[in-house]
């Protein structure tokens, strides 16, 4: 048991580098997917409802009427389900700036991931990457306050929906909540890089 504990205690630097690699994989994968329409379509509810990002869209505040005669945010009328492409929806997103914004966001996410990974060798760059990861996660977690789609809606059915609204997270909400782990990871790698910078100065 003692050898097992000692193994884990001595392996902490490797585990922190594993965190860096993990952040990079997530950032590179998710950031890369932002170049594709289905992913760009998927983030529209988050961006359109965010006070920090909505200005990137031309139609973020626009409203329309659904098939039931209800006034709804216009973006909800132009959703492309994952795996399906509807031309009129694509055209709307092009005019909205959905894809251009997604390309830019994906580039930023990828660059953050690279800076975190470089922290294995360059602590000053890694410190920046860790802080940016923390900041990005803070913004992402605000979606829990601003995006209606992160909670289960009350769509009715054969009987009243028993669980909807807060705190019943939808698939989108569960995805957002996981960013609290990314937030903590960013702080860990930033702290480790800071420690290495100070150690080098004092050596």
Reported as a single tens digit per residue, the pLDDT across 101-158 is 999 999 999 999 999 999 999 999 999 999 999 999 999 999 999 999 999 999 888 8
- 56-84: pLDDT as tens digits: 999 999 999 998 899 999 999 999 888 89
Indicate if the pLDDT at residue 94 is higher than 90. Answer: yes
Q: Do residues 197 and 123 make contact, with C-beta atoms less than 8 angstroms apart?
A: yes
Whether residue 160 has pLDDT greater than 90: no
Q: What was the pLDDT predicted at 192?
A: 97
Task: In whole angstroms, give the CA distance from residue 91 to residue 4.
Answer: 58
Burial profile 54-86: b = 16 or more Cβ within 10 angstroms, e = fewer:
eebbebbeeeeeeeeeeeebbbbbbbbeeeeee
Angle, helix 98-118 to helix 12-33, in steps of 10 degrees = 160
63 DSSP β-pair partners:
73
Kindly list the domain boundaries of the chain, sorted by start residue.
Answer: 2-202
Contact 97, 47 (CB under 8 A): no
Query: In Å, what is the CA distance from 107 to each residue of 28, 112, 125, 172, 174?
Result: 9, 9, 17, 22, 24
pLDDT computed for residue 46 by the predictor: 97
Q: What is the mean pLDDT of the chain?
A: 95
- Please check whether residue 119 is in contact with residue 129, taking contact to mean a CB–CB distance below 8 angstroms: yes
């Amino acid at each position: 048991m003692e050898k097992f504990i000692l193994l884990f205690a001595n392996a902490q630097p490797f585990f922190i580098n594993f965190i860096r690699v993990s952040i990079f994989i997530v950032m590179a994968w998710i950031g890369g997917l932002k170049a594709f329409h289905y992913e760009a379509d998927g983030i529209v509810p988050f961006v359109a409802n965010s006070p920090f990002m909505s200005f990137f869209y031309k139609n973020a505040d626009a409203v329309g009427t659904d098939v039931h005669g209800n006034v709804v945010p216009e973006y909800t009328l132009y959703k492309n389900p994952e795996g399906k492409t509807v031309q009129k929806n694509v055209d709307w997103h092009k005019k909205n700036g959905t894809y251009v914004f997604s390309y830019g966001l994906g580039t930023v996410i990828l660059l953050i991931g690279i800076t975190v990974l470089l922290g294995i060798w360059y602590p000053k760059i890694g410190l920046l990457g860790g802080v940016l990861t923390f900041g990005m996660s803070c913004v992402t977690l605000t979606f829990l306050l601003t995006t209606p789609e992160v909670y289960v809606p009350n769509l009715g059915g054969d009987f009243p929906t028993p669980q909807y609204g807060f705190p019943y997270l939808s698939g989108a909400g569960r995805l957002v909540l996981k960013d609290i782990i990314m937030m903590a990871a960013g702080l860990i790698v930033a702290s480790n890089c800071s420690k290495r910078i100070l150690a080098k100065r004092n050596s």
